[in-house]
Chains A and B, each alone.
Chain A
Amino acid sequence: SQQGEEDPQALSIQEGENATMNCSYKTSINNLQWYRQNSGRGLVHLILIRSNEREKHSGRLRVTLDTSKKSSSLLITASRAADTASYFCATDSTGNQFYFGTGTSLTVIP
């Protein structure tokens, strides 16, 4: 499978703490994206990082990309209860489909 793999599968933290989740993939990519999904809902795009970028920020989100290790990490700082959701990474390569990982389930305890 060319799917990405998120790690950990589940993460539980206290409100205010930082949450870090990782994504590994298998093939060369053009871009890597992170999405959030609230229970039973559609996915919402969070951030896109291109293969020639190493780090990107958006509000409380920080994404890093290491193409040599074929891995990415998503850091959510100062977490809130509203951040409770599943987080997915998605990769795409030329002429190919998007591949989604299996997701990290994040629980932020108030």
Chain B
Amino acid sequence: KAGVTQTPRYLIKTRGQQVTLSCSPISGHRSVSWYQQTPGQGLQFLFEYFSETQRNKGNFPGRFSGRQFSNSRSEMNVSTLELGDSALYLCASSFQLQTGELFFGEGSRLTVL
């Protein structure tokens, strides 16, 4: 069974640009959640999607958005990038919503210059 796939793995953007990150969950998993990981803040929850609906949202500004498609694949978008958005963005999938084991992808490392 293929794991969680995140693309791209690495990307460099400049301030003011926008970025879209993609996550393909494990087959059969309907819940996808996103986390931002930085050295100072640890893992911060961004949002969680289940059956194409956002079920929970963390404390991030509106520049961070996401969506989930009917095949459970998810994308997150960050607009008007700031230097502080540089981080490892991790996607995790699970079979059910907000419970049980999370399966993480390798992450997308975003550098904002």
CB neighbours (8 Å) of A97 from chain B are: 33, 45, 48, 56, 58, 98
Known contacts A40-B88, A98-B33, A98-B45; is-contact A30 B104 (Cβ 8 Å)? no
Judging by beta carbons under 8 Å apart, are A92 and B42 in contact? no
The interface size bin for chain A is 20 to 34
Residues of chain A whose beta carbon lies under 8 Å from any beta carbon of chain B = 3, 30-31, 33, 35, 40-45, 48, 88, 90, 92, 95-103
CB neighbours (8 Å) of A42 from chain B are: 4, 90, 104-107
**Residue B50 interfacial (CB < 8 Å):** no
Quick one: CB contact mask for B46-86 with A, threshold 8 Å, 1 for yes?
A: 00100000001010000000000000000000000000000
Chain B residue total in the interface (Cβ 8 A): 23
Known contacts A45-B102, A96-B98, A98-B33; is-contact A103 B42 (Cβ 8 Å)? yes
Q: How far is the CB of B44 from chain A (nearest CB, A)?
A: 8
CB neighbours (8 Å) of B33 from chain A are: 97-98
Judging by beta carbons under 8 Å apart, are B99 and A31 in contact? yes
